[in-house]
């Protein structure tokens, strides 16, 4: 997820996490909250509801990791490193636009950008989050 700070990146990924939790095709393997991440030296800033969640698809055995925090390069790097250490097949992250440019130059063939936008209307914002969740689900299923 790519967007400016406060544009809904974490909200879209939290929507995806909740969708996967209720999808019978996915098993939640691990969930780390803000306190858990601090204990693992994964500092986060911003949304107090930021988390890292790892799922496994029952039929494909694909391991997917989701990190919702991403407003600076260090946080994104630590999140990606943690997901890599956990040997996920697919890492889904939040990223500020400037941070994405840093990573896209290193992982361009593996990067797909799904954008969020500053939308003041809550109903439209929720629709964007739901749409983004469905787009990502179509890519990982």
Domain parsing of the chain, residue ranges: 9-140
pTM: 0.80
Q: Which pairs with CB-CB distance under 8 Å and at least 24 residues apart come from 37-43?
A: 40/82, 41/78, 42/78, 42/79, 42/82, 43/74, 43/75, 43/78
pLDDT in tens, 81-118: 888 889 998 888 888 777 766 666 665 545 566 666 66
Q: Among residues of the chain, what percentage have pLDDT more than 70?
A: 80
């Amino acid at each position: 997820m790519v967007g400016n700070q406060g544009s809904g990146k974490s909200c879209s990924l939290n929507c995806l996490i909740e969708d996967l939790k209720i999808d019978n095709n996915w098993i939640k393997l691990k969930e780390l909250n803000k306190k858990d991440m601090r204990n693992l030296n994964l500092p986060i800033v911003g949304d107090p509801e930021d988390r890292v969640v790892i799922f496994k698809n029952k039929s494909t055995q694909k391991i997917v990791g989701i990190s919702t925090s991403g407003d600076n390069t260090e946080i994104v790097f630590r999140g990606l490193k943690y997901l890599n250490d956990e040997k996920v097949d697919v890492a889904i992250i939040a990223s500020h636009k400037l941070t994405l440019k840093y990573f896209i130059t290193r992982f361009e063939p593996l990067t797909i950008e799904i954008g969020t936008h500053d939308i003041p209307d809550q109903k439209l914002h929720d629709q964007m989050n739901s749409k983004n969740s469905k787009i990502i689900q179509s890519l990982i299923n």
